[in-house]
Chain A
């Protein structure tokens, strides 16, 4: 009988334990992997001149630079080779398809454009995995971006040298509710128990803004500024049990709130110069407000009362992450090797991302390292395709190698069950996309 009672309420225990587990920190998928092969191969330093579907993420103002209706489809994949103490960390490969649309309309010299950008993971639309507190985890890569990314944007070009744009990106938070009611007798538990449960899950939409501007003071100089709003998704679990155990009232309540995704607000400032007719060089600096990141340890309120006895149960307190803001420099170089009916562009990019996470010296183990990303890309454009295609067809491919600097995490406690460890590794990515532009 005792075992049966324990089984019946063991899932409540499991819920309580689940509440003690950590959630995961993410930025949005394009923050990590980029959007579109061209932009990724240029290290993401495109906010000054981007004008294709990728503008939906990098700088919505760029949508109004497009003169053609664009349809985009692409795919990329990133394979992590990350290790801790030389042992592989089993961080999952991430791949996604990208889709997009840019629809401009011109009224004299005034242009307005609408854009949609969608990045769809190839394995899961959404994923949350809890891990054991204290087990080292690559916080920004483990299940980081198994989420759908969708943004819709609007841009205007009131004058030739100025474009403005803004839009909303969408994510979803979850609210899960479990209600249990009934009674459990003291004897003949299996035959005479009366328990009912009800489970509800709600996905609520969260929207966050992106606004940007592009200025072209000179035909060979462009400047872009972009702001992306903060994203904070939470997952809330509410479990209540209002039952009678052998006639005595049993009340259990668990409310657990956890952060399942956090993307810091960001400001990017980019400039692109065209020192030669065929050569473009772009520099960009992005500030990310990681210090605003909430604790990754869930916040819990647990109450357990039996026959009027008991009360609040002390839960695991949130552990501050102590993240710091980061400044991310980017470099993109593009060379137009061929121009005419066939365009061939060669691209190179570099990004340095210093980790917002401090070395993990306490009981938490959110692993992250400083990263250098080198990327190469090629673009092929087929122009003058009438009457077959009233526009052009462009293909882009990229390869990116991320090198994570080795990092030592030396614990302040000699009795830490995890102990000291070092982290490091590589990230290898490649992608391909195609865009049709209808003139």
Chain B
């Protein structure tokens, strides 16, 4: 072999290796993608996402008083009432931002369809109202289970939790009481069984449902309170549980229970606990969603929406139906490109 050829080969190899070695100098790789179970914390939806303001995260336009609402694949369900022409004096024992329902017509359950753009809903239509003596004239806290051939509505009234059926878009009929003196029903399918979670006598409970037969499994559920840090308010009451059945990427099921918390400084927040069997719950000790009450979850691929109520403005005694999402970094609507 000629010497020059060998020298050229060796020199070329060194050059190629040097170029390859320097070719990507300084390249930066992205950080690993986050893996998130979409449990918490939630961020409020923005005006860009809802098309609304005061507050930005509200999903319905003002129109009377709103109560707890929940979302299904086809619609948003909530309880509402219009104001009385001559309302009585406000009950001063209520929290400053709590609705005094005595000043409104009896609550009815409404169904609101999705807006064509954004993450809000159109004004709802009444799909169910009180129709039995035990309901004491009003119904609220809707929880709807949709099927291909119709829907089942679980609701609360002053007398307890009831059930009604009808087409997916309503109206609903029926006056069966499932559980006396209970409220805030939420129903989930968990490991082949239909579970009902509720609030009664200041505590949460869990029951199984077979048709209209309710079997209470655990009451009270005993969701632990969190120890406050220095100079932090203390939790004094847990309200309005709402459950969702979550399946992990590995196929493991659990029940997540979101609920409202009242604090000793008059403020509110949302808490969450989870269970692998529906009765023993572990509390999440991080922030979930501040200032919001009456939470109800809705699972979407890779994210969880949480709906709740928030005063329209500071000092307001009417509450807006609002939405939040987790993971907080979720981008629902791309911001407009500036020209």
Q: How many A-B residue pairs have CB under 8 A?
A: 128
Give the most central of A89, A123, A389, A432: most B CB within 10 Å: A123
Given B10, B21, B25, B249, which contacts A421 in the complex, CB threshold below 8 Å? Answer: B249
Q: Is B14 an interface residue (CB 8 A)?
A: yes
The verdict on A418 contacting B36 (CB below 8 Å), with A75-B21, A434-B14 known, is yes
- Distance A85 CA – B37 CA, assembled complex (angstroms): 11
Q: What 0/1 readout, one digit per residue, does chain A (366-391) give for beta carbons within 8 Å of chain B?
A: 00000000000000001001011100
Are B33 and A90 touching (Cβ within 8 A)? yes
Q: What 0/1 readout, one digit per residue, does chain B (241-266) give for beta carbons within 8 Å of chain A?
A: 00000001110101010000000000
Given A75, A87, A389, A419, which contacts B20 in the complex, CB threshold below 8 Å? Answer: A75
Give the most central of A73, A75, A414, A434: most B CB within 10 Å: A414
Are B30 and A90 touching (Cβ within 8 A)? yes
- Distance A123 CA – B26 CA, assembled complex (angstroms): 5
Contacts of A422 in B (CB 8 A): 249-250
- Distance A89 CA – B13 CA, assembled complex (angstroms): 33
| Contacts of B1-29 to chain A: CB distance below 8 A | 1-3, 6-7, 10, 13-14, 17-18, 20-27, 29
CB distance from A128 to the nearest CB of B (A): 13
Are B36 and A92 touching (Cβ within 8 A)? no
Are B1 and A388 touching (Cβ within 8 A)? yes
Which of A129-137, A232-240, A324-332 lies on the face that meets chain B?
A129-137
Are A135 and B1 touching (Cβ within 8 A)? no
- Distance A273 CA – B256 CA, assembled complex (angstroms): 61
Contacts of A85 in B (CB 8 A): 35, 249
Contacts of B248 in A (CB 8 A): 419-420
Q: Is A393 an interface residue (CB 8 A)?
A: yes
Given A74, A88, A129, which contacts B31 in the complex, CB threshold below 8 Å? Answer: A129
Q: Is A267 an interface residue (CB 8 A)?
A: no
Are A415 and B33 touching (Cβ within 8 A)? no
Q: Is B156 an interface residue (CB 8 A)?
A: no
Are B10 and A95 touching (Cβ within 8 A)? no
Contact-size category for A: 35 or more
Q: Is B273 an interface residue (CB 8 A)?
A: yes
| Contacts of A403-439 to chain B: CB distance below 8 A | 408, 410, 413-422, 432-434, 436
Q: Is B32 an interface residue (CB 8 A)?
A: yes
The verdict on A122 contacting B22 (CB below 8 Å), with A85-B249, A421-B250 known, is yes
Contact-size category for B: 35 or more
Are B32 and A417 touching (Cβ within 8 A)? no
- Distance A432 CA – B19 CA, assembled complex (angstroms): 13
Which of B42-50, B89-97, B143-151, B282-290 lies on the face that meets chain A?
B282-290
Q: Is B34 an interface residue (CB 8 A)?
A: yes
The verdict on A393 contacting B24 (CB below 8 Å), with A136-B32, A415-B39 known, is no
Q: Is B276 an interface residue (CB 8 A)?
A: yes
Are B282 and A415 touching (Cβ within 8 A)? yes
Are B250 and A420 touching (Cβ within 8 A)? yes
- Distance A136 CA – B31 CA, assembled complex (angstroms): 11
Give the most central of A85, A91, A120: most B CB within 10 Å: A85
Q: B-contacting residues of A (Cβ < 8 Å)? A: 73-75, 77, 84-85, 87-93, 95-97, 120, 122-124, 129, 131-132, 135-138, 142, 365, 382, 385, 387-389, 393, 395, 408, 410, 413-422, 432-434, 436
Q: List 25 A-B contacts (CB under 8 A).
A: A73-B14, A73-B17, A77-B20, A84-B35, A90-B31, A90-B33, A93-B24, A95-B21, A123-B24, A123-B26, A129-B31, A135-B34, A135-B35, A137-B32, A389-B6, A414-B274, A414-B282, A415-B282, A417-B40, A418-B35, A419-B36, A419-B39, A419-B248, A432-B13, A434-B10
